């Protein structure tokens, strides 16, 4: 359990860090996530989305007609910690409990059109373009529940804790005994015994145990039928007997989906909000490049994820800071290399470009031709952006010859250390 808790804390921390620069898998706004959960008979609050404060106030009126007592106004961004976030206007809190439709309208006016910064957003925050207005529920206890893909078990795992409503990273670090993980056989699916064990560990009591089990089964149904890589419910709550007869609700939901399955989940992927993503990553995705923007000033173009990570580490070793992770893959064309350069140079922080290619399926002479064409078309010399290129593998001699005879000022490196050292010298 202790090892798992450390792994979980580390994984969630990495996820939060990557959320600041890229989304490796599709993430949905809470409004869409809850819509999907509802389709699979998972209990969520009734809610309506709004793009203006007037619409938000009218939504609150409609919910009151349906019997809602408390009203919640939630900013819709792709980051957690909204309730403790701060807007660029100084207004605090992206989640507000309201007593009247008029108050909902007032809170929505403070949120829509402004930038909300939380622990999981980039430093400048994310622009709130919509708010979710939903009914509040009175609850006695909060729990944490998730379904994740876990490499250690080659499949999905149920994760639960009686300590819901707080950062799971803190629970994993400080209270590892309060986290439980149950592997699920993907062929057999989740069993009654597994959800019963989890519900009791989390602390559900009385009739709520059976209801919690049904909610967990519904969540696994969502996970297995929609190519999910993550379902995180924080918190899952047990409502009060006085008003809700101890029902179990999923009052917040974070869902992630495998992007390679977009072709068979077209409706879900139509909910993708590209305005929440780095525009460079959006452009890279359109041309089949794997790009993650970072905060450094040395642009990297590499083939292969492992080599790209090694290149970034080596740059840092020599005192430089990588501006991105860019994997052009193993079969990039000259046109894709040129497009990769366009993406790299669109970052105003980039002061040098390092190309590191190991030629296998992708031949070094093909890369050299693409690099030369891109450098000439973009006119890197006029932009004052030095270019360092390291080639190895198939047709490496021909590739180097093309670079040396191109008439362009290119620093040809002998190996990765040499390339990283030269790139770092340009920016340091």
- The low-confidence residues of the chain, meaning pLDDT below 50, are 1-23
Closest CA to 212 of 167, 174, 246: 246
Q: Pairing mode, if any, of strands 139-150 and 228-239?
A: antiparallel
Which stretches within 203-321 are classed as H helix?
208-225, 241-244, 266-270, 279-286, 305-317
Select which of 110, 232, 281, 338 is catalytic.
232
Q: What is the CATH number of the domain that holds 234?
A: 3.30.470.20
* pLDDT value at residue 4: 41
DSSP state of 92: B
* pLDDT value at residue 244: 57
Q: Are residues 143 and 126 in the same domain?
A: no
Per-residue CA distances from 342 to 189, 283, 376 (Å): 46, 10, 12
Q: Pairing mode, if any, of strands 155-161 and 180-183?
A: antiparallel
- Beta-bridged to residue 160, according to DSSP, are 145, 180
Q: What is the CATH number of the domain that holds 128?
A: 3.30.1490.20
Q: Are residues 21 and 145 in the same domain?
A: yes
* pLDDT value at residue 152: 86
Question: Which of residues 117, 135, 153 is at a domain's end?
Answer: 135
116 three-state secondary structure: strand
Reading the block at residue 305, the tokens are 């994820």
Select which of 27, 110, 144, 169 is catalytic.
144
Q: Are residues 129 and 211 in the same domain?
A: no
Question: Around Cβ 221, how many Cβ atoms within 10 Å?
Answer: 17
Q: Are residues 21 and 151 in the same domain?
A: yes
- Distance between CA 168 and CA 13 in Å, rounded? 10
- Beta-bridged to residue 133, according to DSSP, are 48, 73
Question: Around Cβ 340, how many Cβ atoms within 10 Å?
Answer: 27
- Distance between CA 296 and CA 310 in Å, rounded? 16
Per-residue CA distances from 13 to 10, 53, 124 (Å): 5, 34, 19
CB 229 within 8 A of CB 25: yes
- Write out the residue range of the structural domain in which residue 256 sits: 2-26+138-270
Q: Are residues 68 and 83 in the same domain?
A: yes
Determine if the peptide bond prior to 23 is cis (ω within 30°).
no
Q: Are residues 119 and 155 in the same domain?
A: no
Per-residue CA distances from 269 to 38, 40, 182, 221, 379 (Å): 17, 18, 29, 18, 37
Look at the alpha carbons of 24, 260, 229, 6 in this order and tell me if their dihedral is positive or negative: negative
* pLDDT value at residue 303: 87
Q: Are residues 127 and 202 in the same domain?
A: no
Whether residue 232 lies in the annotated active site = yes
Q: Are residues 223 and 329 in the same domain?
A: no
Reading the block at residue 14, the tokens are 């990495």
Q: What is the CATH number of the domain that holds 387?
A: 3.40.50.261
Q: Are residues 244 and 357 in the same domain?
A: no
Per-residue CA distances from 206 to 178, 181, 199, 211 (Å): 21, 23, 11, 10
Q: Is residue 56 part of a domain?
A: yes
Q: Is residue 166 part of a domain?
A: yes
Reading the block at residue 123, the tokens are 């430093």
Which helix (DSSP H) or strand (DSSP E) does residue 425 occupy?
helix 416-427
Which stretches within 226-297 are classed as H helix?
241-244, 266-270, 279-286
* pLDDT value at residue 243: 58
Reading the block at residue 368, the tokens are 């050299």
- Distance between CA 80 and CA 219 in Å, rounded? 20
Cβ-in-10-Å burial (0-12, 13-18, 19+) of 403 comes to buried
Look at the alpha carbons of 30, 31, 37, 42 in this order and tell me if their dihedral is positive or negative: positive
Number of domains observed in the structure of the chain: 3
Question: Which of residues 93, 117, 135 is at a domain's end?
Answer: 135
Q: Are residues 258 and 310 in the same domain?
A: no
Q: What is the pTM of this model?
A: 0.74
Q: Are residues 184 and 256 in the same domain?
A: yes
Question: Which of residues 135, 160, 189 is at a domain's end?
Answer: 135
Q: Are residues 299 and 421 in the same domain?
A: yes
């Amino acid at each position: 359990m202790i090892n798992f808790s450390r792994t979980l804390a580390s994984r969630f921390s990495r996820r939060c860090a990557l959320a600041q620069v890229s989304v490796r898998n599709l993430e949905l706004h809470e409004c869409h996530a809850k819509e999907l959960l509802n389709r699979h008979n998972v209990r969520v609050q009734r809610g309506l989305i709004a793009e203006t404060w007037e619409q938000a106030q009218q939504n609150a009126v409609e919910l009151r007609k349906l019997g809602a007592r408390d009203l919640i106004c939630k900013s819709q961004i792709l980051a957690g910690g909204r309730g403790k976030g701060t807007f660029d206007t100084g207004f605090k809190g992206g989640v507000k409990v309201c007593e009247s439709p008029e108050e909902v309208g007032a809170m929505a006016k403070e949120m829509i059109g402004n930038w909300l910064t939380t622990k999981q957003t980039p430093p400048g925050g994310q622009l709130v373009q919509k708010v979710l207005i939903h009914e509040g529920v009175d609850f006695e206890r909060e729990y944490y529940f998730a379904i994740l893909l876990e490499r250690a078990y080659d499949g999905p795992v149920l994760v639960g804790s009686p300590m819901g409503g707080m950062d799971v990273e803190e629970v994993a670090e400080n209270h590892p005994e309060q986290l439980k993980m149950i592997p699920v056989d993907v062929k057999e699916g989740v069993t009654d015994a597994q959800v019963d064990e989890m519900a009791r560990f989390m602390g559900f009591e009385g009739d709520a145990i059976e209801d919690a089990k049904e909610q967990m089964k519904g969540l696994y149904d969502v996970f297995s039928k929609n190519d999910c890589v993550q379902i995180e419910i924080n918190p899952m709550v047990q409502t009060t007997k006085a008003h809700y007869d101890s029902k179990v609700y999923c009052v917040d939901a974070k869902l992630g989906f495998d992007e390679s399955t977009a072709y068979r989940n077209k409706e879900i992927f139509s909910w993708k909000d590209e305005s929440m993503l780095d525009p460079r990553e959006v452009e890279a995705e359109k041309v089949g490049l794997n790009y993650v923007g970072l905060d450094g000033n040395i642009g990297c173009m590499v083939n292969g994820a492992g080599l790209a990570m090694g290149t970034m580490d080596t740059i840092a070793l020599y005192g430089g800071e990588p501006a991105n992770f860019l994997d052009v893959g193993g079969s990039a064309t000259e046109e894709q290399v040129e497009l990769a350069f366009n993406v790299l140079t669109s970052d105003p922080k980039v002061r040098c470009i390092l190309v590191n290619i190991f030629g296998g399926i992708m031949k070094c002479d093909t890369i050299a031709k693409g690099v030369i064409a891109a450098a000439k078309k973009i006119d890197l010399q006029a932009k004052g952006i030095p270019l360092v290129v390291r080639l190895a593998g198939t047709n490496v001699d021909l590739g180097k010859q093309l670079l040396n005879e191109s008439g362009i000022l290119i620093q040809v490196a002998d190996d990765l250390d040499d390339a990283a050292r030269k790139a770092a010298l340009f920016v340091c």
